[in-house]
Amino acid sequence: MNPQSHVRIMTRMEAFRGLGPKVGHTMGTMASTTDFSLTATPGRQLPVAVRAEGCRIWTADGREFIDACGGAMVMSVGHCHPRLIEALKRQADEVTFTYRFAFSNEPMLELADLLREISPMPRTWSFFNSSGSESVESAIHLALLYWQLRGQPAKTEFISRYPSYHGSTIAALGLSGTSRRNSFEALLTKNAVAQTPNADIRARRTPAAEVEFAIKQLEDAIAARGADKVAGIFLEPITGASGAAVTPPDGYLERVRELCTRHGLLMICDETITGFGRTGTWFGVEQWGVAPDVITFAKGVTSGVVPFSGMLVAGDIADVLMASPDGFPVGHTFSGYPLGCAVGAEMVRVIRDEGLLENARLMGQRLRTGLEAIAATTPHIGDIRGMGLLQGIEFVEDAESLAPRAGAAARVTAAARDRQLMIYSCPTALGSSVLESVLLAPPLNITSTDVDQILDRLSDAIGAA
């Protein structure tokens, strides 16, 4: 160790004092203050997190942040939930890896069983991966294999919506209706062709007219390709990073279900953000009583304890795969990872034991009421939306024009960060406009005191921005 870095570590050790007993464990591993990892913030050193618990993160320079967005809507039960850490340690002492073509493992069997109990689909089967993008890829694989086995190999195309986000791998990015695809367009397919309902508040359509508008977008897309070429429709029940919790009008998802059934398309819901209790039900589609054919999930399933994701498949679809000699032969090296499965299974029990669906509904209502009170104090909030503990705020110039307030998402997010409050910035391209919104997704086990503190800091940040 060079003497220079030793001096820096000692300086940090000073800063750690007062952060509580756990912090000492992290100090021995501190090595460098220079960041040689590729970041999206060149030239700006991000604060170094040294400890996290619940909705709080402490940094090496001694600051305490409230994490009101779980990084990227990851932290379903906050940071370092003791039961999840315990499940991880227990499993790590037993089996840390099995290769899916050679062995099964106990937590995988257990999680698949538990998911049958909480899935909104009949006779659910599961498949596990490590990230949201991977599970979207798995759903693509599954859909193509399914139609091949059903004797319809020409069904290879997908319809998805804009704005939306389904991941960063090439096929998942191809499904996504986001400006994040711009630099990679040459490799992507044009799947995101139908507008997400309620994404454009300037249209001022009634809920019924919005349903008709958005369903027609999907119908036109199906007609343009031919239903015999379309394998399925991908959608987020409520959007996350794109548009900030854009919530469909009642009747829309029910109509999508009917449309998929009528045209013979798989309805694939990407619940990477809305899954595992975020909206107050296990999965977002349950808010409308809809059973899709496939659900993908990630993020909240392990609350950041280990990278993990998965796909739920309705029994009648899975039956076709499992009746073929090859079953579902595609996946990734870490598909069925025992550590992820163990933490995921414990997550189901934690959400049940701690009554967190109920808490998400209650605290979501408190958060929503507070956000509406903030909106009443400024002309620059054009919409508050979302369900449970997934709430989005859209900034506008004024209530008459509802014109996007340029740069507001970044300014409010920065002002919140200055007040040690983390929220998620979602500037979203729609046509020639950039919609300016931010997202809040605090943990499902948040307390009313913490909700109120989030609201105080946010109100202050919005006032300053």
**In the complex, which residues of this chain contact ligand PLP (CB under 6 A)?**
72, 131-133, 136, 165-168, 236, 240-241, 270, 272-273, 298
CB of 39 to ligand PLP, least distance (A): 16
Residue closer to ligand PLP, measured from CB, 298 or 454: 298
Residue closer to ligand PLP, measured from CB, 240 or 280: 240
Residue closer to ligand PLP, measured from CB, 288 or 297: 297
Which residues, in sequence order, are CB contacts of 97 under 8 Å at separation 6+? 334, 337, 338
CB of 191 to ligand PLP, least distance (A): 14
CB of 221 to ligand PLP, least distance (A): 20
- C-alpha to C-alpha distance for 273 and 357, rounded to whole angstroms: 15
- How far lies 266's CA from each of 139, 149, 158, 313, 358, in Å? 10, 14, 9, 10, 31
The count of residues in the chain is: 465
Q: Taking each helix axis as running N to C, give the angle between helix 448-464 and helix 356-375, from 0 to 180 degrees, rounded to the nearest 10.
A: 30
Residue closer to ligand PLP, measured from CB, 245 or 461: 245
- C-alpha to C-alpha distance for 394 and 430, rounded to whole angstroms: 13
Cβ atoms of 229 and 146 closer than 8 Å? no
- C-alpha to C-alpha distance for 203 and 410, rounded to whole angstroms: 24
Cβ atoms of 247 and 437 closer than 8 Å? no
Q: How buried is 328 (Cβ within 10 angstroms: 0-12 exposed, 13-18 middle, 19+ buried)?
A: buried
CB of 355 to ligand PLP, least distance (A): 26
Q: Coil, helix or strand for 461?
A: helix
- C-alpha to C-alpha distance for 322 and 412, rounded to whole angstroms: 50
Residue closer to ligand PLP, measured from CB, 252 or 424: 424
CB of 22 to ligand PLP, least distance (A): 27
CB of 234 to ligand PLP, least distance (A): 9
CB of 74 to ligand PLP, least distance (A): 9
Cα-based angle 331, 335, 341 (whole degrees, multiple of 5): 150
Residue closer to ligand PLP, measured from CB, 236 or 383: 236
The CB-nearest residue to ligand PLP is 132
Residue closer to ligand PLP, measured from CB, 187 or 373: 187
